[in-house]
């Protein structure tokens, strides 16, 4: 598959336990896709909601394009995500049943189109975060010692 990852939301992996992943298209304007190709965006605090059987992405900041003049876009506008009806109903059922949150995990370009990988997630508790940090540092120490 022709997939070029532009950005990964590392904060999502730190703050949430990810259960399911879905790929969705993103509806962007001309200046937005140009800014995305340059890597001028931020997924950090973004999240998705389902409203009227459509999925929308909130708080994704895409910086204005330098040569965009008066046709430039609003940096933090709400963007529609493109998913199949079956996927949306499946996600909606899991959200209602198990109280999940929809979090964007990574943005990538596929055949010239911007796609986003979203995940169904639950928030981690502070002790879970501390465990993950401790485990990561132990693995780093082991890798460092085995190099020697």
Phi and psi (nearest 5°) for 40? -100, 65
Tokens encoding 103: 């979090």
For the beta carbon of residue 58, count every other beta carbon within 10 angstroms: 14
Alpha-carbon distance of 47 to 60, in angstroms, equals: 8
HSE-up (13 A, CA, CB side) for residue 120: 18
Residue 125, pLDDT > 90, answer: no
DSSP letter at 108 equals: E
Alpha helices by DSSP H, the chain: 10-15, 30-38, 85-98, 126-147
Residue 147, pLDDT > 90, answer: no
Residue 15's pLDDT band (cuts 50, 70, 90): confident
| Burial letters 94-119, b for 16+ CB under 10 A, else e | eeeeeebbbbbbbbbbeeeebbbbbb
Q: What angle do CA 88, 90, 96 make, to 5 degrees?
A: 100
Residue 57's pLDDT band (cuts 50, 70, 90): very high
**In the chain, pLDDT over 90 holds for what percent of residues?**
30
Q: What local confidence, expressed as pLDDT, does residue 1 receive? A: 59
Residue 148, pLDDT > 80, answer: no
């Amino acid at each position: 598959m022709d997939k070029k990852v532009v950005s990964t939301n590392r904060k999502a992996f730190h703050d949430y336990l990810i259960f399911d992943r879905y790929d969705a298209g993103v509806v962007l304007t001309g200046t937005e896709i140009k800014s995305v190709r340059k890597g001028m965006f931020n997924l950090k605090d973004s999240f998705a909601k389902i409203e009227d059987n459509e999925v929308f992405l909130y708080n994704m900041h895409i910086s204005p394009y330098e040569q965009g003049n008066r046709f430039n876009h609003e940096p933090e506008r709400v963007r529609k995500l493109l998913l199949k009806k079956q996927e949306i109903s499946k996600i909606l059922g899991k959200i209602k049943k198990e109280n999940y949150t929809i979090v964007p995990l990574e943005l990538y370009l596929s055949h010239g189109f911007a796609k986003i990988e979203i995940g169904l997630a639950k928030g981690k508790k502070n002790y879970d975060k501390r465990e993950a940090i401790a485990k990561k540092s132990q693995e780093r120490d082991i890798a460092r010692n085995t190099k020697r």
